[in-house]
A and B are shown apart, each in its own frame.
Chain A
Amino acid sequence: MKRVAGVWTSMAAAAVLLLAASPRAILGAAGQPPQAEANGDQDLAIIVNQSNPVDNLSQQELRTVFLGERSHWPNGRRITLVMMEPGFAERKAVLHEIYHMNESDFSRHFMQGLFTGEVFVSPKTLASPVGVRKFVFNVPGAIGYVRASDVDDTVKVIRIDGHLPDDKDYSLRIQAHPAK
Chain B
Amino acid sequence: MWFRTPIILRSVNALAGRAARGRALVLLLGLAPGAPTLHAQQTPSGTDEDKRTIQMLLERIDRLEARVAKLEAAQPAAASAPQAAAPASQAAAPPPSKLEAANTVSAQTLSPGAPPAQAPAPAEAEAQIETSVDHPEPERMDMSKTLLRIRGFGDVSFHGDNVHGDTSSFSLGQLNLFVTSDISEKFKFLGEIVFESGPDNFYEVPGGHRNEVGVDVERYLLQYSYNDYFNLAVGRYHTAIGYYNTAYHHSTWFQTTTGRPLLFQFEDTGGILPVHNVGASASGRIPSGKLGLHYVAEIGNGRASRAPLDDEPVQNEVDENNHKAFNLAVFSRPTAVQGLQLGFSAYHDLLTPANLPSAVGETILAAHVIYIVPTFEWLNEALVIRHSPQGSSRIFQTPGFYTQISKRWGSYRPYFRYQYINASSSEPIFPDVKLRAGPSVGLRYDASESVALKLQYDYTALRQQPASNGLTLQLGFTF
Contact = CB atoms under 8 A, between A and B. Distances in A.
Contact of B106 (A76, A78, A164): A164
B100 A78 contact: no
A115 B178 contact: yes
A138 interface: yes
B99 A159 contact: yes
A135 interface: yes
B449 A75 contact: no
Given A152-B111, A157-B106, A120 B134 contact: no
Contacts of A63: 338
Main secondary structure of the interface of B (DSSP, over half): mixed
Contacts of B478: 111
A180 B208 CA distance: 53
Interface string A79-112: 0100000000000000000001110110110011
Nearest to A59: B335
A66 to B, nearest CB: 13
Interface string B224-256: 010110010100000000000011010100100
A139 B133 contact: yes
Given A50-B76, A134-B122, A137-B119, A72 B182 contact: no
A72 B228 contact: yes
Interface string A136-180: 011111100000111111101111000011100000000000000
B129 interface: yes
Interface in B88-137: 90-94, 97, 99-100, 102-104, 106-111, 114-115, 117-120, 122, 124-125, 128-129, 132-134
Interface stretch (B79-87, B321-329, B434-442): B79-87
B358 to A, nearest CB: 37
A127 to B, nearest CB: 6
B127 to A, nearest CB: 11
A179 to B, nearest CB: 16
B103 A157 contact: yes
Interface in B200-235: 221, 223, 225, 227-228, 231, 233
Given A77-B134, A78-B185, A124-B128, A154 B374 contact: no
A112 B86 CA distance: 35
A139 B132 contact: yes
Contacts of A153: 103-104, 107-108, 117
B86 A76 contact: yes
Contacts of A10: none
Interface string B134-153: 10000000000000000100
A151 B124 contact: no
A175 B124 CA distance: 27
B110 A149 contact: yes
Q: Which of A51, A149, A159 lies at the interface centre, i.e. has the most chain B CB atoms within 10 A of its CB? A: A51
A63 B108 CA distance: 28
Query: How many B residues are at the interface, by size bracket?
Result: 35 or more
Contacts of A132: 125
Contacts of B75: 138
B247 A151 contact: no
Q: Which of A55, A117, A142, A151 lies at the interface centre, i.e. has the most chain B CB atoms within 10 A of its CB? A: A117
Contacts of B278: none
A149 B111 contact: yes
Contacts of A100: 338, 373-374
A56 B100 CA distance: 11
Shortest 4 CB-CB distances between A and B: which pairs? A131-B125, A105-B374, A153-B117, A75-B90
5 contacts: A69-B333, A101-B374, A124-B132, A141-B134, A153-B117
Given A76-B90, A104-B446, 12 more contacts: A51-B94, A70-B228, A77-B134, A116-B247, A120-B188, A124-B132, A131-B124, A141-B134, A152-B111, A157-B102, A159-B99, A165-B110
Interface of A: 49-51, 53, 55-56, 60, 63, 69-72, 74-78, 80, 100-102, 104-105, 107-108, 111-112, 114-117, 120-121, 124, 126-128, 130-135, 137-142, 148-154, 156-159, 164-166
